[in-house]
Structure 1
């Protein structure tokens, strides 16, 4: 028994040395990835190349795999063979450095994602290294951004503007013709523009600009309308004209929504006929010029004419007095609209 014990004592160190050497050899033969390209940022249309250097991987399959932001995986190559059917992709293998080089030409937005170099040891054992490709994309303003606003005077307003793109776009706000913003200044930066108490002077076009240094950026015009009850002004409250001549009476209405406009005399609404013609011309969404043409004036047509405007927020009215003049205005026939400079009133 002592002889067997002596043999065991002599063999034990040898066995331990053998196991240690076997483990070292096995460790040396375990595949490793010694280099992977660092993160890449490219413009659309550029070319990118990913390098992956491996060690102790001659007996194993080396793959390139692409994962996009939706976590969809696409196998691009296996070993030195390209499997993706896209002429923009190419693959080279350098046996001296055990390096795989994947190249993509004419980069598209959809090429952005994570590229994985993977050594497949077994179905459950893999060695991987990743490199991200970011593709610069011009800004595109999102559909959930504000398009137009209609609010009552004095209300609080919030306009929102968001944009996709890489790098992340900066959002700035301006007004048409570089008018001052209600927030003070002519430029405001941020996704949300708030106006605490909207005034009628604040109506107009607001411009959201998205910029990230790629291309010319993107912009959206946001029309802001302020609802208000009608306000009427009369350029000439008193006008004179001789019998049997025409005259044009005018009123100017500021209102939104656009109002219903009528002219009346002696509480009787006037309609287009052989004695009167009413014309309304909208110069903007909130401005309307209304003209009443009095045709071949007779005695009974002298007096006060009332211009009335009504929308759902209220109504307003203004009067124009037509009196008899002994000298005709615009002789011999007043067929065209008068100008303030051309009209002469004779009392």
Structure 2
């Protein structure tokens, strides 16, 4: 009995190393469809031809999910069909997996498998790529970006799609880009030494020729210290009339604007009325209105503006005009 046990052990060991030796003609996947590129809604078919198929089980699988076994589907999706076309004379068979009205979820690798044993199989793969319009990632592309004037700015835009989308940047109303031109190619918006005039809406645009381009607005906000401009630094007014002093303030964050005279802050009261009106482009118009000018009102006034980046002031002068008196003859 011992020699028989030893012989059985040797045969088992040999077959474990060379399991296919029992088959005179080993199965071979002689042909499989090439990689497929299609659009959503189209039909696709994958063919896999196996030589010396015999009674082998041939299946289609997607990643780790078995879709079919011989001519039987293992999933209930009515869009899928499997067809087995045997050529007994040649000892081959072709297994055709058809998917109608493909969806984006159908994209990925498909594998034709010949099951040789519980631990051995012969495989070949193909890949299904599905064309779909570009979609800009909301999670990876910011809605806004805050930068301080003089710093460098960098904003990335990420988009998915097949074929891979081409990405570029433009400004609102196709305004000139900071580096010149109306567009900036590439997924990254870079601005060196940002200026306050660079602030505003920028659009990331992604296009791959499938459907409509996608775009996403990124608002660039630039912080800068206050700047005051005065259209009329000298204002003439006669006694007992209304006088208005006006200054225009720019800054971001929006500056606090006050009026001073002789070192004291002015407030709205029966003599003075102060109004601050915000407009576009981070501009605030401040007006100091003096109800009825008296002798004591003539002199210098200061428009002051302050935000976290700094301070600015401008001097305005209210004076009494000299009215020439005609000489008597």
Q: Which TM-score bucket, shorter chain as reference?
A: 0.7 to 0.9
Which residue of 53, 61, 69 maps to 1:78? 69
Q: Which residue of 2 is the match for residue 127 of structure 1? A: 122
Q: Which residue of 2 is the match for residue 270 of structure 1? A: 266
- TM-superposed deviation, 1:24: 11
Change (3 A) 1:272 1:124: same
- TM-superposed deviation, 1:276: 2.7
Matched, 1:61 2:52: no
Q: For residues 241-296 of structure 1, give each alpha carbon's deviation from its aligned partner in whole angstroms, at most 9, with x where no partner exists.
A: 45554443321112122111111233222223333332222223522212223334
Which residue of 48, 56, 81 maps to 1:90? 81
TM-score where L is the length of structure 2: 0.81
Change (3 A) 1:200 1:53: same
TM-score where L is the length of structure 1: 0.77
Matched, 1:294 2:294: no
Q: Which residue of 2 is the match for residue 139 of structure 1? A: 134
Matched, 1:282 2:278: yes
- TM-superposed deviation, 1:168: 1.6
Q: For residues 13-56 of structure 1, give each alpha carbon's deviation from its aligned partner in whole angstroms, at most 9, with x where no partner exists.
A: xxxxxxxxxx999433x322232111001122222111122233
Matched, 1:176 2:172: yes
Which residue of 197, 201, 208 maps to 2:204? 208
Q: Mapping of 1:155-194 within 5 angstroms? A: 155-194=151-190
Q: Distance in 2 between matches of 1:54 and 1:112?
A: 24
Which residue of 24, 28, 41 maps to 1:27? 24
Matched, 1:233 2:268: no
Q: Distance in 2 between matches of 1:25 and 1:124?
A: 15
Change (3 A) 1:248 1:59: same
Change (3 A) 1:244 1:212: same
Change (3 A) 1:92 1:245: farther
Q: Distance in 2 between matches of 1:176 and 1:124?
A: 62
Q: Distance in 1 between matches of 2:272 and 2:158?
A: 53
Which blocks of at least 5 consecutive residues in structure 1 are unaligned? 1-22, 68-72, 328-347
Number of matched pairs: 299
Q: Which residue of 1 is the match for residue 44 of structure 2? A: 48
Q: Which residue of 2 is the match for residue 114 of structure 1? A: 109
Q: Distance in 2 between matches of 1:84 and 1:297?
A: 91
Q: For residues 200-246 of structure 1, give each alpha carbon's deviation from its aligned partner in whole angstroms, at most 9, with x where no partner exists.
A: 33222222212222222222222223322211111222334455544
Q: For residues 148-201 of structure 1, give each alpha carbon's deviation from its aligned partner in whole angstroms, at most 9, with x where no partner exists.
A: 332232222222222222222222122223233233322222232333322233
Q: Distance in 2 between matches of 1:224 and 1:181?
A: 13
Q: Distance in 2 between matches of 1:278 and 1:107?
A: 67
Which residue of 288, 304, 307 maps to 1:308? 304
Q: For residues 81-101 of structure 1, give each alpha carbon's deviation from its aligned partner in whole angstroms, at most 9, with x where no partner exists.
A: 111122222222333573222
Contact 1:242 1:326 in 2 (8 A): no
Which blocks of at least 5 consecutive residues in structure 2 are unaligned? 1-19, 324-329
Q: Distance in 2 between matches of 1:326 and 1:86?
A: 95
Contact 1:208 1:221 in 2 (8 A): yes
Q: Distance in 2 between matches of 1:170 and 1:62?
A: 41
3-state SS of 2:180 partner: coil
Q: For residues 94-118 of structure 1, give each alpha carbon's deviation from its aligned partner in whole angstroms, at most 9, with x where no partner exists.
A: 3357322212122222211111111
- TM-superposed deviation, 1:58: 4.2
3-state SS of 2:24 partner: helix
Change (3 A) 1:106 1:242: farther
Q: Which residue of 1 is the match for residue 251 of structure 2? A: 255
